[in-house]
């Protein structure tokens, strides 16, 4: 395997093994798989201003994954003794996928915790979906968690990102989840000029006022994602960074998770190294979990800004 060069690349993130300064690029090995993500498809009921995956009512670059495909990957995980604890569904809007309930039920029945990322708007609030969710809760109790996309604790800034009226619709969905005893978490953004403390104080006040059992000061329950702007200059992560930063590659998201997607026009689903890079082909590892067990080179700005330096994770 190539891991060094006599001459450094001219641009950052242009060589998977060597940085622009000629240093050895860091890589992360899948050591303890914990979360297997499924992207249910990029179709969404809304189009946000800054959606990292460009989800919208018309973007089907990632088509609906099927319950049969999910079952196949769950079987693969068992065969390879991955020891997963969590199955997570993201989109797009997962409740646009007509098989989301079946997929969730299969994962719950297999004994996994299930995390669904949703905007809690109309797709989730359809009568038949709510009835099915209540059945899942009755069958599997607290093993089902909803992470709600609430970009800011204020109506004005949330609606600026997601469209006028979206804040009230999302809170209505959260109210329904609250009233029926579902476990909730929140995903917000740190791109509005607030400090971390200010953001969490604002969410805490909102949660208290509406009776949401969410801890605004727990990063696992209230996740504040940095803005993923690829035009911003960020440092490349070298093998020396682990000791310099006092962290471990095992703490990075790709050490414990993979994501399955189905690309439009593809005959098979693919396994990706990262939930944040659905369109970066160099992070596509193959069609099977066996092919996805290798080392991932941190050759993208998101690897630095979001995961290593930002310390963020998509898991609960």
pLDDT for the residue numbered 4: 45
pLDDT digits (tens, 9 = 90+) for 133-182: 999 999 998 899 999 999 999 999 999 999 999 999 999 999 999 999 99
Note whether residue 245 is domain-resident. Answer: no
pLDDT for the residue numbered 229: 63
pLDDT for the residue numbered 168: 98
Note whether residue 178 is domain-resident. Answer: yes
pLDDT digits (tens, 9 = 90+) for 216-271: 999 999 999 877 666 678 889 999 999 998 889 998 999 999 999 999 999 999 99
Contact 4, 19 (CB under 8 A): no
Note whether residue 274 is domain-resident. Answer: yes
Contact 74, 298 (CB under 8 A): no
Note whether residue 17 is domain-resident. Answer: no
Distance CA(278)–CA(107), nearest Å, equals: 22
Look at residue 313 and tell me whether its pLDDT is greater than 50: no
**Helix axis angle, 155-162 to 166-179, nearest 10°:** 110
Look at residue 312 and tell me whether its pLDDT is greater than 90: no
CATH code where residue 195 lies: 3.20.20.70
Average pLDDT over residues 26-35: 95
Note whether residue 7 is domain-resident. Answer: no
List the domain range (segments joined by +) for residue 80. 31-233+250-294
Look at residue 128 and tell me whether its pLDDT is greater than 90: yes
Note whether residue 302 is domain-resident. Answer: no
Number of domains in the chain: 1
Q: What percent of the chain has pLDDT above 90? A: 80
Note whether residue 306 is domain-resident. Answer: no
DSSP 24: B
Vertex 48: Cα angle to 45 and 52 (nearest 5): 110
Predicted TM-score (pTM) of the model is 0.93
């Amino acid at each position: 395997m190539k891991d060094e060069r006599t001459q450094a690349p001219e641009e950052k993130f242009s060589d998977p093994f060597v940085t622009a300064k000629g240093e050895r690029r860091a890589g992360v090995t899948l050591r303890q798989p914990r979360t297997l993500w499924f992207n249910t498809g990029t179709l969404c009921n809304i189009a946000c201003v800054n959606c990292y995956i460009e989800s919208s009512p018309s973007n089907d670059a990632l088509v609906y994954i099927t319950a049969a495909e999910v079952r196949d990957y769950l079987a693969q995980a068992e065969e390879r003794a991955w020891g997963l604890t969590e199955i997570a569904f993201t989109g797009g809007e997962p409740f646009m996928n007509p098989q989301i309930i079946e997929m969730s039920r299969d994962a719950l029945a297999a004994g996994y915790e299930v995390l669904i990322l949703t905007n809690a708007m109309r797709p989730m609030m359809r009568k038949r979906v709510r009835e099915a969710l209540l059945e899942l809760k009755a069958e599997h109790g607290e093993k089902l968690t909803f992470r709600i996309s609430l970009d800011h604790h204020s109506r004005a800034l949330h609606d600026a990102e997601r469209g006028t009226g979206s804040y009230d619709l999302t809170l209505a969905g959260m109210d329904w989840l609250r009233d029926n005893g579902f476990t909730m978490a929140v995903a917000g953004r740190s791109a509005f000029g607030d400090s971390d403390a200010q953001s969490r104080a604002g969410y805490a006040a909102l949660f208290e006022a509406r009776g949401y059992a969410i801890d605004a000061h727990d990063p696992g329950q209230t996740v504040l994602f940095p803005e993923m702007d690829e035009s911003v200059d960020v440092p490349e992560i070298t093998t020396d960074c682990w000791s310099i930063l006092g962290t471990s590659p095992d703490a990075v998201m790709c050490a414990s998770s993979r994501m399955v997607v189905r690309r439009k026009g593809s005959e098979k689903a693919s396994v990706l190294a990262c939930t944040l890079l659905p369109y970066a082909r160099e992070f596509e590892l193959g069609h099977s979990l066996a092919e996805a067990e290798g080392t991932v080179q941190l050759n993208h700005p998101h690897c630095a800004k979001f995961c290593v330096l930002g310390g963020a994770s998509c898991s609960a």
